[in-house]
Amino acid sequence: MAAMHMVMTGATSGFGADAAGRLAAAGHRLTIGARRPDAVDGGWGAAALPLDLDDFASVDRFAEAIAKGPAIDALILNAGLQTSKLEVGADGFERTFAVNQLAHFRLLHRLLPHLAPGTRVILTGSGTHDPEEKTLVTPPAHANAEWLAYPDRDPTLPKKDQAQAFRAYSASKLANIMTACELAHRRPDLAAMSFDPGYVPWTGLARSSGKIISSLVSLILPLTMKRDRKSTIALSGQYLAALAADPAYAEARGDYWSVRNPALVRIAPSALARDDAACAKLWDDCEYLLGLAQTAQ
C-alpha cells in the first residue's frame, strides 16, 4: 500500500491516538492539529500544528497551513467535546455544536478546493445521533443549525441542564453524519464517510465534567448498554485507521460505518440523516452561520 498523507484532529488521546499510531506505524505521513502540539507522540514522526477548535481564527490558520503543504489523501475529523451543561463557545455559538460541528465544517469547507478526487473525508459521529438506538443520551429532536447554535431560540430545548448538554452532543454528532452525507452529494469525487466508534470508555470525551463524573461515566454507562455497542480504544482505533487507509473503503459515498463489537458494519444512519433535503439545508445553514456562503464550492 502506498504511503498516504493524513490530516487529523482528535489524535492526542483515546481511539484517535490509537488510530494515529497505527497509521504512522504503517508508514503513512500524519499532520495533526492539536491545542497542544507538544502532546503529539514524538515517536510517530508526525507534523503537529496548533489547532484550537474553540477558536475559528485558529481553524482558519490551520487550514491555510495545510493548504500550503503536501496533497491530502485523507482528512480525519475526529476531535469531539461533551460538556455537563450548555456553554458559550466560539463566536457566541453553543460550545459543543461549535467545536464538534461548526469548527470541523469550517475546516472542511476551507480545504475543499484543495481536496483532489479520491481524497477520503471521515467525520466521527456517534450512535447517540439516532433516537432508534435508545441510548441513555438524550437524542436529537431536530437538525436546525440556528437552534443548535443558539439554544435560547430553540422551543424544543429540554429543561434540565444534563438533558440539554446530552442533546447538544447527540445533535452535533447527527450534524457530523449529515455533513458526510451531503458532502457525498456535493463532491461525489471524494470518498466521504462517517464513523460511529461505539461507546469507548476512558477517552476523555467528558473531561469537562470533571474527573470524578468522567470516571463514573466510564465505569457505569457500559453496564447499561447492549454488549455489541461497547468498544475499546484499540478496537475503535483499529477501525478508524482502516477507514482512512484500507483500499476496501476507498469508494465510500456518504457511508455510515458503525462498530458493532467485534465488527465494523455499514448501516443506515437515522431517518433524519437519510433526509437529503435536511442534509442540504444543514450544510447551507452552517455556511450561513459561519459567513462562508460567498465562498461556497
Contact 176, 125 (CB under 8 A): yes
Say if residues 184 and 192 touch (Cβ distance below 8 Å): yes
Round the CA-based radius of gyration of the chain to a whole number and report it. 17
What do you get for the CA distance between the two ends of the chain, in Å?
Answer: 31
Q: How far is Cα 225 from Cα 124, in angstroms, rounded to an integer?
A: 20
In the chain, what are the domains? Answer: 5-288 (3.40.50.720)
Can you give the pLDDT of all 297 residues of the chain as single tens digits? 689 999 999 999 999 999 999 999 999 999 999 999 998 987 899 999 999 999 999 999 999 999 999 999 999 999 999 999 999 997 899 999 999 999 999 999 999 999 999 999 999 999 999 999 999 899 999 999 999 999 999 999 999 999 999 999 999 999 999 999 999 999 999 999 999 999 998 455 555 555 544 444 445 455 455 667 899 999 999 999 999 999 999 999 999 999 999 999 999 999 999 999 999 999 999 999 999 986 544
CA-CA-CA-CA torsion sign (291, 292, 293, 295): positive
Statement: the pTM of the whole predicted model exceeds 0.95 = no
